[in-house]
């Protein structure tokens, strides 16, 4: 067992973080242009719906 944390997990370099928001928007966008924010992200203070400007 390796006691040292992986640098990829520690700095999120193992994730395509620049692609996370566009992916969430694409997957949860409704026909009227609003985006239903997933429950797991609402726990971090995001609103239930995002509306186009």
Structure tokens at 40: 């797991």
User: 18 pLDDT exceeds 90?
Assistant: no
| Sequence-separated (6 or more) residues with CB below 8 Å from residue 49 | 34, 35, 36, 37
Query: CB burial class (10 A; 0-12, 13-18, 19+) of residue 24?
Result: middle
What local confidence, expressed as pLDDT, does residue 7 receive? Answer: 55
For the chain, the average pLDDT equals: 82
Q: Is the pLDDT of residue 39 over 70?
A: yes
Residue 8 has pLDDT above 60, yes or no: no
Would you state the pLDDT for residue 31? 95
Helix (H) or strand (E) run with residue 49 in it? strand 49-50
pLDDT digits (tens, 9 = 90+) for 40-52: 989 989 999 999 9
Residue 26 has pLDDT above 80, yes or no: yes
């Amino acid at each position: 067992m390796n006691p040292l944390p992986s640098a990829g997990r520690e700095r999120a370099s193992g994730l395509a973080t620049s692609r996370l928001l566009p992916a969430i928007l694409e997957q949860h966008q409704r026909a009227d242009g609003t985006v239903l924010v997933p429950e797991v992200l609402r726990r971090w203070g995001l609103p239930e719906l995002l509306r186009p400007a």
